[in-house]
Amino acid sequence: MICECCRRDVDHTRSSFWHGEARICRECLAQWCDGDNDEIGADAVSVGNYVRLRHGLPPLALLC
């Protein structure tokens, strides 16, 4: 399965009330829900890039 936030191949994805039909991985969901992560932003690209960086992957292109 591909996480729609970080675009990684993961074992498990889920949707949530806040993300509608988007399927996101547990790691991205944890970053969205962590109120202490003010430095990464609150949009899908910022969260996805933060998770990708932690796994040594190149960042996603910023959507304009």
Residue 18 has pLDDT above 90, yes or no: no
Within 10 Å of residue 6's Cβ, how many Cβ atoms? 25
- How far, in Å, CA of 64 to CA of 51, rounded? 20
**What pLDDT score does 8 carry?**
95
**What pLDDT score does 6 carry?**
92
Across the range 23-39, mean pLDDT stands at 80
Cβ burial 11-35 (10 Å sphere, 16+ → b, else e): eebeeeeebeeebbbebbbebbeee
Q: E strand or H helix at 31, and its extent?
A: helix 26-33
pTM: 0.77
